Amino acid sequence: MSIRVVGFGPGGAALRTPAAVEAIRESDVVVGYETYVAMVEDLLGGKEVVSAKMRQEVYRARVAVEMAREGKRVAVISDGDPEIFGMAPLVLEMLSRYGWRPSGLEVVPGVTAALAAGARLGAPLGSDVAFINLSPLLTPREVILRRVEAAAAADYVIAFYNPIDRGLLREALAAVARWRGGQTPVGVVKDAYRRGERVYVTTLDSVDVDAVDMRTTVIVGNSESYIWEGYIITPRGYHRKYAYP
């Protein structure tokens, strides 16, 4: 009996880790959101599949735990990384409420959206980064905006996930602009490493919020970030210590 919570990366097979592929192939049952199940269809031959719709995360976690208690090897799949706004916290919370730890419990990391988007944008994540989920479904708007304000004040690079509420995204970008100014670099990546991928670099003053949806990751640079040849670069700080040739 086992539960593996598996992150299979942004979607493309090339960015799945060998550990993620092995975990899915070794399972008896795969549990996931229907879109995620379709992304790993090539790994599902001969397996029992439990597919659920959006906002049925609690159902997925409960089914996974119940099937593991029946002695099955269960893989709960998430795109990206399962800890970062994925299924790992919920599955482990469910296990803690059951008061039961399966003999095989593992969280298999994956390439999270900010890393995939950052790679497409160049090097925007070169310094300290805050990951902020802009979905107000589970976190109150005022809490989200308070976190945005704190990250902006501390000069973090900010990676915004799940910008499903465009009004909230506008408020978040405005909060950052109050600390950094309108010319701060912003990268917008939709469907990173998937079919239909769209990448563009802009500034806080010029973000097309209407073109952003839940499949988009928005990365806002810090006070030192700059744009070069269509890429965003956030220096790590070597320029403050070493003389460049």
Q: Which of 58, 88, 111 is the last residue of a domain?
A: 111
DSSP letter at 72 equals -
Please tell me whether residues 122 and 229 are part of one structural domain: yes
pTM confidence score: 0.94
Please tell me whether residues 91 and 123 are part of one structural domain: no
Cα 148 to chain centroid, rounded: 17
Can you give the CATH number for the domain in which 119 is found? 3.30.950.10
Can you give the CATH number for the domain in which 17 is found? 3.40.1010.10
Tokens at residue 62, please? 């409960």
Task: Give the count of beta carbons closer than 10 Å to the beta carbon of residue 229.
Answer: 7
- Does 244 fall in a domain? no
Q: Which of 54, 77, 111 is the last residue of a domain?
A: 111
Token pair 């909230």 is found at 168
Nearest to 184 by CA among 160, 159, 203: 203
Task: Give the count of beta carbons closer than 10 Å to the beta carbon of residue 239.
Answer: 10
Please tell me whether residues 229 and 200 are part of one structural domain: yes
Question: Could you tell me the end-to-end alpha-carbon distance of the chain, in angstroms, rounded to an integer?
Answer: 58
Nearest to 132 by CA among 119, 118, 145, 116: 145
Range of the domain at 225: 114-233
Per residue of the chain (245 residues), what is the pLDDT tens digit?
Answer: 799 999 999 988 999 999 999 999 999 999 999 999 999 999 999 999 999 887 889 999 999 999 999 999 999 999 999 999 999 999 999 999 989 888 899 999 999 999 999 999 999 999 999 999 999 999 999 999 999 999 999 999 999 999 999 999 999 999 999 999 999 999 999 999 998 999 999 999 999 999 999 999 999 999 999 999 999 999 998 888 888 77
